[in-house]
A and B are shown apart, each in its own frame.
Chain A
Amino acid sequence: MRRPHDELAHALAAEYVLGTLRGAARRRFESLLAGDAGLREIVARWEAWLTPLAGRVPPVEPPARVWRAIEARIAGRAPRRASWWSSVAFWRPWGLVSSGLAAVLLAFFAYFSTGPRTEPVFVAVLVSSSQQPMGVVSMHPPDVLRVRVVHDWSNMKDRSLELWVMPERGAPRSLGLVRNEVGDTMITIEPTDPRVRDAKALAISAEPPGGSPTREPTGPMLCKGMIAPVQRS
């Protein structure tokens, strides 16, 4: 026989598994679950009922880097997930793509540049992990670094985006925050500044509001690109 609270338990367990129980209600339900074996059984039953529906979803292959990351995490080799910048992998796969794209985009720049009046001394095209160009950074003498976002991150509106310069050796250095909207952020810095002088690559990470609290990237890397010096003919 079902008692009224069992009806309620079923209703909530069902919406928990379905995913419509959200926010504070979901968290409260989870804390109830932790101490209530009977409720866990009801949830398990709803999972067994509803989950087979997901068998209808056509499979999608994840990229190989997911397994590499899992392997690293279970091996304890990367206890801090944020240390993407210190891995050799950061430098390997995307360099050629980015500098190739940079050459192409330079032409685009010459025509549509609206901000700085001088020609850039270097450019970098920042691409996402799926190779989509997300931003273009260009260094204009005497002291303007322009960060042009071409695609914003709609799922990261509650975070701050921070631009990092990657030297050949050592930790990344912050160049400041970048607005999460399509358009330009201008950063005042000279090309001879030690932060950019020996730079090899640039990257943008998602950080807590206001930027990284530690002076090093703490959030996931959103995009990166190698710096391509502009050849003068």
Chain B
Amino acid sequence: MTADPAAARLAMLLARTALRDRGAFEQLYGATRAKLFAVSLRIVRERFLAEEVLQDSYVSIWNHASGYAPAKSAPLTWMMAIVRNRSLDVMRRTREEPDIDDVLTQSLADERAAPEREALDRARAHSIRSCLEELEAEQRQPIALAFFHGLSHSELARHMGRPLGTVKTHIRRGLMRLRDCLARAAITEVE
């Protein structure tokens, strides 16, 4: 990650932010705000809400900068995850729906009594794109719509004119195929 000078600069600014350096935090904001605002705006769709998300996210970045681990993720990835999460939080208050995934989450809670660590591998940006392209359109499309526009399962089903169960299956299978492809790409990179 540090091979990329832009990412290295962001990592440095984040590290200084963790030390309560306001100037560094302002530079970090300047370097990332337009990207993060765009990401939130796509998901929440209302400027007013996206502004709130951005505000909350940067306050959270300020408060949790010391928790950023450069070894685990690129700085922008870490910040985007905060913004995406906050956007999804804000949205679910207005568009909440019951979901059978709760059953799965429950069974995971029961099974993961003794978690096993897996080695953390990493893939570059081009990998996700080429791996997405390997998917069939019916798997790729709902994944992209959900990622960029924050559509839920039922919104995807309505949008695509497909039964809910079919859309869920396509997403699950698509994601697992993506994982296998990305893991392969990571291994190839190491070699």
Contacts and interface: CB of A to CB of B under 8 A. Distances in A.
Interface of A: 3-12, 14-15, 17-26, 28-29, 32, 36-39, 41-42, 44-45, 47-55, 57-63, 65-67, 69-70, 73-74, 128-130, 155, 157-158, 220, 222
Contact of A19 (B47, B54, B84, B106): B84
A36 B110 CA distance: 12
Contact of B112 (A32, A44, A66): A32
Contacts of B29: 67, 70
Given A8-B104, A17-B81, 5 more contacts: A4-B111, A14-B178, A62-B33, A62-B50, A62-B51
Nearest to A59: B34
A61 B40 CA distance: 12
Given A18-B175, A24-B98, A47-B73, A39 B33 contact: no
Contacts of A57: 35, 38-39, 42, 148
Contacts of B12: none
Given A49-B182, A59-B34, A66-B51, A14 B175 contact: yes
A78 to B, nearest CB: 11
B105 A55 contact: no
Contact of A60 (B38, B46, B58): B38
A59 to B, nearest CB: 4
Given A20-B152, A50-B147, A52-B125, A5 B108 contact: yes
Nearest to B84: A19
15 contacts: A10-B176, A15-B171, A18-B146, A25-B102, A25-B105, A36-B112, A49-B182, A52-B124, A59-B38, A62-B33, A65-B51, A66-B51, A67-B26, A73-B59, A74-B22
A5 B111 contact: yes
A188 to B, nearest CB: 30
B112 A51 contact: no
B57 to A, nearest CB: 9
The 5 closest A-B pairs by CB, nearest first: A38-B115, A59-B34, A52-B125, A5-B111, A25-B101
Contacts of B33: 61-62, 66-67
A155 B49 contact: yes
Contacts, number: 213
B16 interface: no
Interface of B: 22, 25-26, 29, 33-35, 37-39, 41-43, 46-52, 54-55, 58-59, 62, 72-74, 76-78, 80-81, 84, 88, 92-94, 96-99, 101-102, 104-109, 111-112, 115-118, 120-125, 127-129, 132, 143-144, 146-148, 150-153, 156, 171-172, 175-176, 178-179, 182
Contact of B94 (A24, A39, A44, A155): A155
Contact of B128 (A10, A52, A63): A52
B107 A41 contact: no
A41 B125 contact: no
Contacts of B106: 28
A9 B88 CA distance: 20
Nearest to B72: A44
B48 A129 contact: yes
Tell which of B96, B97, B101, B109 has the most Cβ of chain A within 10 Å.
B101
Contact of A18 (B62, B72, B147): B147
A39 B112 CA distance: 9
Contacts of A49: 123, 127-128, 178-179, 182
Tell which of B42, B144, B147, B152 has the most Cβ of chain A within 10 Å.
B147
